[in-house]
Amino acid sequence: MDAKRLIIFDCDGVLVDSEPIALSVLTETLGMSGITIDEEGAAKRYLGRSLATVRNLVSEEYGLQIDDGFLNRMRDMLYTRFRNELRPIPGIHTALDGLEEAGIGWCVASSSQSERIALCLSATGMLDRFSPHIFSASMVAHGKPAPDLFLYAADRMGTAPSDCLVIEDSPAGILAARAAGMDVLAFTGGSHTGLSAYRDGLAALMPLQAFDAMEKLLHFVAPVRRPKDQPDA
């Protein structure tokens, strides 16, 4: 892999371990509207997709029009649980420290709305490390798996797509990065990655380089530093 100037992180499932919470809230809220779907099914259909895409998919499959009341209920439940339960992905601060030391920039480009991204980063102590370089699907015409968001983020960061590396956890995000002409790594260290729907979705995109511990990111983007007393080979 060529050296990269910019790392573009997805947020949910990559920076914060939010996917199990989000899938739980989505299935519960759909259940209030008479739609029964388990978290496996929700992951297969909606993981990594923008709210606008989820609304369209639910309408097409179930005939349910997601209105403001539905969205407000779901948002209130989700944000309450995020404030109480959300945790950062282990090792993310170590990874960011390493990128900073290597002189590599980073940003976040997520299918979530800007308000939710800010809450996730704030609740896990990372907002200062990403602000103001936070990009949401609400800023572009088409969410993932379209390439619009990643191309927008790269443009705002003044970086060519070929100089970007995307860190994603969802099939939709991986497809979006590829469509944008960017290299992409699959992060499989989130607690939702045990879902069979998730594993099947990634398997369909193989061969794909994947890693399951955020500290390992530095091996892909920065040279491994030898201890001072260890001679070169």
Task: Quote the CA–CA distance of 179 and 147 in Å, as a whole number.
Answer: 5
For residue 42, give both structure tokens: 């929700």
- 167-176 pLDDT per residue, tens: 998 888 999 9
Q: What is the mean pLDDT of the chain?
A: 87
For residue 144, give both structure tokens: 């993932």
Task: Quote the CA–CA distance of 31 and 20 in Å, as a whole number.
Answer: 16
Instruction: Give the 3-state secondary structure of residue 24.
Output: helix
Task: Quote the CA–CA distance of 41 and 127 in Å, as a whole number.
Answer: 31
Backbone φ, ψ for residue 134 (5° rounding): -125, 120
- 76-113 pLDDT per residue, tens: 999 999 999 999 999 999 999 999 999 999 999 999 88
For residue 64, give both structure tokens: 């349910």
Q: What is the mean pLDDT of each run of 10 residues along the chain (233 residues)?
A: 88 92 89 88 77 84 86 89 96 96 96 93 97 96 94 98 94 92 92 68 69 92 51 42
Backbone φ, ψ for residue 100 (5° rounding): -60, -45
Task: Quote the CA–CA distance of 109 and 147 in Å, as a whole number.
Answer: 11
Q: How many other CB atoms are there within 10 angstroms of residue 114's CB atom?
A: 14
Global pTM?
0.82
